[in-house]
Amino acid sequence: METKTKRIIQFNDFIGGSLQGEIVASYDSLVKAFGPPNSQGDGYKISTEWCLMDTKANLKFSLYDYKETNLYSGGMQSVKKFRARKTYSWHIGYCDRRDIFNIEVREAIQEQIKNSI
């Protein structure tokens, strides 16, 4: 059986970045595609975060939620309930402003999610 190398991999040293786009997916589909979240976020506004790298474009970025759980406000849903939602518009954050992200990398994220289902 041939093993295909994943284009998008976890990366542990991602720091900073800002919202550059969104991608709609379930928590479970992201875990299947990229493994469990490798960051705890900030424990306030962000409860779930993947720090990732596109090996082809050499671009570091993150997928994360924003102000969606009771970590941010006591009356909101728990992290567990948030992660059980059918879909969510996950935030995509990165520091680099190259247009390549909005086209090529977004397509690579979607392709890896699709191939993991």
pLDDT band at 3 (very low <50, low <70, confident <90, very high): low
Residue 98 has phi, psi (to 5 degrees) of: -65, 140
**Considering only CA atoms, which of 29, 27, 37 is closest in space to residue 85?**
27
Beta carbons of 105 and 54 less than 8 angstroms apart: yes
Q: What is the pLDDT of residues 48-100, one digit of tens each?
A: 999 999 898 888 889 999 999 999 999 999 999 999 999 999 999 887 666 66
The DSSP bridge partners found for residue 51 are: 62
Q: Answer whether residue 102 shows pLDDT above 70.
A: no
